[in-house]
Structure 1
Amino acid sequence: MIGAACALYAVRAGLDVVVVDRGPVAGGTTGAGEGNLLVSDKEPGPELELALLSSRLWREIAEGPRPDDQRPPARGVGRAVDGRAVEYESKGGLVVASTPEALTALTELAAGQRAAGVETVAVDADQLLSFEPYLTPGLAGGVLYPQDAQIMPTLAAAHLLRASGARVETGRTVTRVLRGADGAVRGVRTDRGDLLAPAVVNAAGTWGAEVAALAGVSLPVLPRRGFVLVTEPLPRRVRHKVYSADYVADVASDSAALQTSPVVEGTAAGPVLIGASRERVGFDRSFSLPVVRALAAGATRLFPFLEHVRAMRAYLGFRPYLPDHLPAIGPDPRAPGLFHACGHEGAGIGLATGTGHLIAQTLTGKAPDLDLTPFRPDRFAEEATP
Structure 2
Amino acid sequence: MPVDRGGVDVTADVVIVGAGIVGAACARSLARAGARVTVLDRGAAASATSAHGEGNLLVSDKGPGAELELARVSLRRWAELAGELADELGPRFPSVEHEAKGGLVVVTSGDGLDGLRTFASAQRAAGVEAVELTPGQARELEPDLAPGVVGAVHYPQDAQVQPVAAAEALLASARRAGAVVRTGVEVTGPLLDGGRLTGVSTTQGDVPAGDVVVAAGPWSGDVARRLGSWLPVRPRRGMVLVTTPMRQRIRHKVYDGDYFAATQSAGAELQTSAVVESTQGGTVLIGSSREQVGFDDRLRAEVLAQMARRAVAVFPFLARTGVMRTYLGFRPYMPDHLPVIGADPALAGLWFATGHEGAGVGLAPATGDLLAAALLGFAPAVDPRPYAAGRPALDALRPGAPENDHEGARP
Instruction: Name which of structure 1's ranges 243-252 and 105-114 shifts more when overlaid on structure 2.
Output: 105-114
Provide Cα deviations, 1:143-169, integer angstroms capped at 9, x if missing partner.
Answer: 111110011101111111001112100
Match of 2:395 among 374, 381, 384: 381
**2:171 maps to 1:161:** yes
1:348 equivalent in structure 2 = 360
1:329 equivalent in structure 2 = 341
**2:163 maps to 1:149:** no
SS at 2:310 equivalent: helix
**2:127 maps to 1:117:** yes
1:62 touches 1:82 (CA, 8 Å); kept in 2?
Answer: no
SS at 1:63 equivalent: helix
**Take 1:103 and 1:34, find their aligned partners in 2: how far apart are those partners?**
26
**2:46 maps to 1:36:** no
1:80 touches 1:163 (CA, 8 Å); kept in 2?
Answer: no
SS at 2:240 equivalent: strand
**Take 1:121 and 1:283, find their aligned partners in 2: how far apart are those partners?**
39
Alignment of 1:276-291 (within 5 A): 276-291=288-303
2:193 equivalent in structure 1 = 180
**2:206 maps to 1:194:** yes
**Aligned-residue identity in percent:** 51
2:32 equivalent in structure 1 = 12
2:94 touches 2:165 (CA, 8 Å); kept in 1?
Answer: no
In the TM superposition, residue 179 of structure 1 has moved relative to its aligned partner by 1.9
Match of 1:139 among 134, 146, 149: 149
Provide Cα deviations, 1:64-108, integer angstroms capped at 9, x if missing partner.
Answer: 3645x7xxxxxxxxx699997101111000001111111111111
**2:107 maps to 1:94:** no
Letter of the structure 2 residue corresponding to residue 145 of structure 1: Y
2:264 touches 2:337 (CA, 8 Å); kept in 1?
Answer: yes
**Take 1:294 and 1:208, find their aligned partners in 2: how far apart are those partners?**
30
1:62 touches 1:84 (CA, 8 Å); kept in 2?
Answer: no
Name the CA shift for 1:179/1:15 in 2 (closer, same or farther; >3 Å): same
Letter of the structure 2 residue corresponding to residue 328 of structure 1: V
Match of 2:319 among 275, 298, 307: 307
Match of 2:67 among 34, 37, 47: 47
**Take 1:367 and 1:184, find their aligned partners in 2: how far apart are those partners?**
25
**Take 1:14 and 1:8, find their aligned partners in 2: how far apart are those partners?**
10
RMSD between superposed Cα atoms in Å: 1.6
In the TM superposition, residue 139 of structure 1 has moved relative to its aligned partner by 1.1
SS at 1:176 equivalent: strand
Query: What TM-score do you get using the length of structure 2 for normalisation?
Result: 0.89
2:243 touches 2:324 (CA, 8 Å); kept in 1?
Answer: yes
Match of 1:57 among 77, 91, 113: 77
SS at 1:296 equivalent: helix
**Take 2:94 and 2:212, find their aligned partners in 1: how far apart are those partners?**
31
Structure 1: which 4+ aligned runs deviate by more than 4 Å?
79-84
Provide Cα deviations, 1:302-357, integer angstroms capped at 9, x if missing partner.
Answer: 10100110000110000110111111111112111111000100111101011001
1:179 touches 1:215 (CA, 8 Å); kept in 2?
Answer: no
1:170 equivalent in structure 2 = 183
1:62 touches 1:83 (CA, 8 Å); kept in 2?
Answer: no
SS at 1:199 equivalent: strand
In the TM superposition, residue 34 of structure 1 has moved relative to its aligned partner by 0.5
Contiguous gaps of at least 5 residues in structure 2: 1-20, 403-411
SS at 1:263 equivalent: strand
Letter of the structure 2 residue corresponding to residue 133 of structure 1: P
SS at 1:86 equivalent: coil
1:81 touches 1:163 (CA, 8 Å); kept in 2?
Answer: no
SS at 2:118 equivalent: helix
Aligned positions, number: 375
In the TM superposition, residue 372 of structure 1 has moved relative to its aligned partner by 1.7
SS at 2:246 equivalent: coil
In the TM superposition, residue 378 of structure 1 has moved relative to its aligned partner by 2.6
2:234 equivalent in structure 1 = 222
**Take 1:192 and 1:84, find their aligned partners in 2: how far apart are those partners?**
31
Name the CA shift for 1:319/1:99 in 2 (closer, same or farther; >3 Å): same
In the TM superposition, residue 177 of structure 1 has moved relative to its aligned partner by 2.4
SS at 2:104 equivalent: strand
SS at 2:144 equivalent: coil
SS at 2:95 equivalent: helix
In the TM superposition, residue 266 of structure 1 has moved relative to its aligned partner by 0.6
